[in-house]
Structure 1
């Protein structure tokens, strides 16, 4: 069974400011809330800063989580209301079907691996020199795509593998009276 969680974060607390500014801290806090986590389980999380006064942490996990530590350190532990909502994700998954359209946000890191960077940093140049001297094959360099066109191409070439597609732009007719 899969669970979707929403945790309220108090941005005025010291530990929550660490979460809001450091993705590694969020990852650690999320993994700390999954007592039955297996190494091959996928856990997805997203910090939703739409409202800077009331950010939320969303987590999709294969096991039932316990967010007590996040509520105590980063939430409003003594306030009224629902601090962390944990719901079964199965009803939504059962509604997925071919042809259904969903909207979502994605944060990704569009990168490529290359053995020969065009503008090598001093550390990369040293590794290339060492590789040439030893004749050994070393792992390539991970380089981020810097242009919007390259990032979009990186994304669009992977959507089919990820199980969805991005529909072509469409122009809907104008609403009546506009």
Structure 2
């Protein structure tokens, strides 16, 4: 497995085109792997190509990839990078990810970032088919990741704040609901709604645009099951993985950091 980082040159026309459509960016990412076709899907339990855009500042947008094979991002450098400023490398950084994954241990604490598509299934009447619907409020978006079953399947536990660092007593309730944002070391930000046309075979009728709601989670977690955690990091979490969702990355906590 490999972890790759590419900085997008947001001043370029090609970069703006890529950033304006998740379908276009998905195709560009998949084109980074000579052995894959743009619409290839993983078979069986094989890891898939995951990607995520981090909008850290107006001029700093980073593209992260986790993939079974090392990518060739030459075309992205030419379209959306700095092709004439390459001195010490090809314009992106790729590192072997497997050694890091192999060293994950139960009980270890990490900072994490995840961009996901938090959804649930609802129906308005008993006779209506259940419909997948995005969570739209920070409270429910946070609750999606805090779901105990989701955390257990993912091999991690979101860490809680120390009681003396909570704004509300015991992290209590708000209008009858648990106030997630005060109890856990977790924030939800960068809510985005994207609409784009899904790729279709030549000659197929144009369907309705895909509408996708994404949010970015930052927080701290404890690894509870290293094998499941490795699977989470290489297979992703939730829906819309082809469109930049589901990739969780870990980072060391500052030395001496406390909840």
Same fold (TM over 0.5): yes
Q: Is the 8 A contact 1:11 1:53 kept in 2?
A: yes
Which segments of structure 1 move beyond 4 Å, counting only runs of 4 or more? Answer: none
* Between structures 1 and 2, the one with greater strand share: 2
Which residue pairs with 1:123 in the alignment?
Answer: none
1:114 corresponds to which of 122, 130, 151:
122
Which residue pairs with 1:125 in the alignment?
Answer: none
Instruction: Work out whether 1:164 is the aligned partner of 2:156.
Output: yes
Query: Offset of 1:139 from its aligned partner?
Result: 4.9
User: Aligned equivalents of 1:54 and 1:144: distance in 2?
Assistant: 27
User: Matches of residues 17-166 of structure 1 in structure 2 within 5 Å?
Assistant: 17-37=16-36, 39-40=41-42, 41-81=47-87, 82=89, 83-116=91-124, 139-157=129-147, 158-166=150-158
TM-score (normalizing by structure 1)? 0.76
Q: Are the structure 2 counterparts of residues 149 and 60 from structure 1 closer, same or farther at C-alpha, using a change threshold of 3 Å?
A: same
Map Cα deviations across residues 15-35 of structure 1 (whole Å, 9 max, x no partner): 101222332222121111122
Task: Between the two structures, name the one with larger relative contact order (CA 8 Å, sep ≥ 6).
Answer: 2
Q: Is the 8 A contact 1:36 1:63 kept in 2?
A: no
* Between structures 1 and 2, the one with greater helix share: 1
Q: Report how many aligned residue pairs link the two structures.
A: 155
Computing the radius of gyration over CA atoms, which structure comes out larger, 1 or 2? Answer: 1
RMSD (Å), alpha carbons: 2.5
Which residue pairs with 2:213 in the alignment?
Answer: none
Unaligned 5+ runs, structure 1? 118-127, 133-137
TM-score (normalizing by structure 2)? 0.54
Query: Offset of 1:77 from its aligned partner?
Result: 0.9
